[in-house]
Amino acid sequence: MKVIIKAREGMGNVELAQRPVPEINENEVLIKIRKAGICGTDFHIYKWDKWSQNRIKPPLIMGHEFAGEIVETGKAVKGLHIGQRVSAEGHITCQKCKLCRTGRGHICNDIEIIGVDRAGCFAEYIKMPAMNVWPLDDEIEDKYGAIMDPLGNAMHTVMAQPVSSRDVLITGGGSIGLFATAIAKRFGAARLVVSEPQPYKAQLAKKAGADEVINPLGDNPKEQILEAFHGRQPEVVLEMSGFPSAFQLGLEVIENGGDMAILGIPSEDLNIDMGKYVIFKGITLRGINGRRMFDTWYQCQNFLKGNSSFIDHVITHELPMEDINEGFRLMSESKAVKVVLDF
């Protein structure tokens, strides 16, 4: 089968290759990939940043967001069938630890992620444990099925605290920030402001439902934000960028007692005055990892049925899988947000 691999360490080195079709055990299914999303994580692996250098062991089949069709089921698999359209949770959990046994498998200590720790979905076929498979509702097209993973990251972050009737600031307008913008607005955020320096993404944030978009690299971003909230302070901050400066900005503007959920992974250690910004402000900081299994998936399914038009423009490109490097080029030049590959 045709696959896309990170062939070697170093910048780039993403190549097409041939691999045997995987063999499944009795608890797994074999899925023929139809569409797969390129994630920021794949882009980190492409760029070979510090995180990738510590985690990725090339050669590796990349990719973890997909929609496809079941072509084979293991002997012990029940409730799934050949020909069924599916996506899947890419975090494979141990099923044994305390966290897994108490409904918190998304923070299992013994997690394996497809396309990171084991073969991913940038391939004609992938094998998945049946328990990770998410059957796709008839109303949800393949291209939305292929982005349920990052949509789930956004959903998990928005749902981590109430947003309805509250002022919400989202720092970072990448694909997950834009998904979160659409979700928070649809879920009734009072006023929703996005901070994003790139004009292309800023304009997409408006389309997704932001009442205002400010440029954090412009003059006095703190003043800009307070003005955008008509002099109020945001009660909720969703940090989606991973930039220490965005995190700091969020802490400075958030209202005392506010809720801050952090999904963006900082590229370096943060130096924060915890006393001033967290303790005395009495705010709640929450780290968000992955998607709750499977609460978040049900929420995403319900959101997509009827609301997909609010995120449609975030999928800026659909390319044949052979053009993977073109996808990365568009992303590195900030000309694309979510790129979906056709297999």
Footprint on this chain of Zn ion (rule: CB under 5 A): 39, 41, 93-94, 97, 100, 108, 150
- Tally Cβ neighbours within 10 Å of residue 276: 11
Nearer CB in complex with Zn ion: 94/278: 94
CB of 15 to Zn ion, least distance (A): 21
Query: Is 44 tagged catalytic?
Result: yes
233: helix, strand or coil: coil
d(CA 72, CA 297): 23
Give the nearest distance from C-beta 248 to Zn ion in angstroms.
25
The beta strand positions in the chain, using DSSP E, are: 2-6, 14-18, 28-38, 60-61, 65-73, 85-88, 91-92, 112-113, 125-129, 133-135, 168-171, 192-195, 212-214, 236-239, 259-262, 284-287, 315-320, 338-342
Q: How far is the CB of 111 from Zn ion (least distance, A)?
A: 7
Q: How far is the CB of 287 from Zn ion (least distance, A)?
A: 17
Of the two residues 113 and 190, which places its CB atom closer to Zn ion in the complex?
113
Q: What residues does 15 pair with on adjacent strands? A: 5
β-bridge partners, 86: 68, 135
If the CB atoms of residues 41 and 171 are measured against Zn ion, the closer one turns out to be 41
DSSP letter (8 states) at residue 25 = -
> CA angle, corner 160, sides to 50 and 300, nearest 5?
90
CB atoms within 10 A of CB 303: 24
Instruction: Examine the residue annotation and report whether 81 is marked as an active-site residue of this protein.
Output: no
Considering beta carbons, is residue 97 or 272 the nearer one to Zn ion? 97
- Number of Cβ atoms within 10 Å of the Cβ of 231: 7
Which of residues 103 and 188 has its CB atom nearest to Zn ion in the complex?
A: 103
Closest CA relative to residue 288, chosen from 115, 105, 158: 158
Residue 92 or 133: which CB sits closer to Zn ion? 92
Instruction: Write down the catalytic residue from 44, 91, 106, 156.
Output: 44
List C-alpha distances in Å: 215 to 74, 170, 186, 223: 52, 12, 23, 11
Closer CB to Zn ion, 120 or 150, in the complex? 150
Measured in residues, the chain has a length of 343
Q: How far is the CB of 251 from Zn ion (least distance, A)?
A: 26
Give the pairing type, strands 168-171 and 192-195: parallel
**In the complex, least distance from residue 39 CB atom to Zn ion, rounded to whole angstroms:** 3
Nearest approach, Cβ of 37 to Zn ion (angstroms)? Answer: 7
Q: Report the C-alpha gap between 240 and 74 in whole angstroms.
A: 38
Count Cβ atoms below 10 Å from residue 288 Cβ, excluding itself.
Answer: 21
- Listed residue (301, 286, 289) closest to 99, CA to CA: 289
Supply the residues annotated as catalytic.
41, 44
